[in-house]
Amino acid sequence: MLVYPSGVDVSSSTLRFLAERLRRRRRAISCRWRRLDAGRQALLALAHLRMGHTYAQLAAGFGVGTTTAYRYVTEAVDILADLAPTLADAVRAASTKAFVLLDGTLLPIDRIAADQPYYSGKHKKHGMNVQVLTDPFGQLLWASPALPGAVHDIRAAREHGIIDALAQADAPCRADKGYRGAGGTVRIPYRGRWHSLSAGQQAVNRSHAKIRARVEQAMASLKNWRLLRKLRCSTTRITALVKAVLTLHLASSDR
């Protein structure tokens, strides 16, 4: 395999953040020596998450075996996933905001037609359903565990306990029509054809759409990490990957 210099469009502070966590991990397990130091391991993991490079490509570029590249990435992802905010953390943050935005996104996966539970009829492709909560400005607060793509948004929200948690905290939430019947503090636009709505209902729906447009920033923030644009790993690893990306996104936002 040919090897060439390349770049990863993440900040140096993000690299330092991950490298420090890896150093702490190595000290905790009394790791004396590895082929790559913590800084290089952090760069390898970021190249995988940000650029979507395969383990074979990473192994060639960093001069390690494919198995070693897999082990390094898995370790980094698990460390980052453990640092991701929980739903309880997000709800506490939501209680200090005027409102929060709730939406779901489909992360495409490489499954075939036979894998029916992963097929989303809405998006006409196989994937995993991930729910996100953001603040009124579209900044990510939380990302849910991944569920098969066939799961509808309202069902996913209920399974994760999002609706009940927001209701208990009395945190106002704005969502789209896919959450019809959610109840609690979740508010959705008025249903019906545009011409059949009253002038007041149309005004409410226009305002609602302008507010909810900001949640698209959160989806874009997630999918800027190219690995999430087409996942080719086991579906059991996708939750950890999403949480790892969320941790890195929040870490870079804080700097």
pLDDT higher than threshold 70 for residue 207: yes
Query: What's the pLDDT score for residue 255?
Result: 57
Taking 90 as the threshold, does the pLDDT of residue 198 lie above it?
A: no
pLDDT tier at 194, thresholds 50, 70, 90: confident
- Tell me the average pLDDT of the chain: 91
> What tokens does 234 get?
């086991």
- pLDDT at position 147 is 95
Q: Residue 174 — pLDDT band, cuts 50, 70, 90?
A: very high
| pLDDT tens readout for residues 22-69 | 999 999 999 888 999 999 999 999 999 999 999 999 999 999 999 999
Instruction: pLDDT band for 80, please (50, 70, 90 cuts).
Output: very high
Calpha distance 68→80 (Å, rounded): 18
Q: Can you give the pLDDT at residue 4?
A: 86
Residue 77 has a pLDDT of: 98
What are the phi and psi torsion angles at 111 (to 5°)?
-115, 160
Q: What are phi and psi of 119, to 5 degrees?
A: -90, 125
Q: How confident is the model over 5-17, as pLDDT tens digits?
A: 889 999 999 999 9
Give this prediction's pTM.
0.91
What CA–CA distance (Å, rounded) separates 117 from 7? 37
Decide if 131 contacts 160 (C-beta within 8 A).
Answer: yes
pLDDT (0 to 100) of residue 41? 97
Segment 146-167, tens digit of pLDDT: 999 999 999 999 999 999 999 9
Contact criterion met (CB below 8 Å) for 75 and 25: yes
The pLDDT, as a whole number, for residue 205 is 84
Tokens 């006409």, located at residue: 124
> In this predicted structure, what is the pLDDT of residue 112?
64
Specify the pLDDT at position 43: 97
| Burial degree of 5 (CB within 10 A; 0-12, 13-18, 19+) | exposed
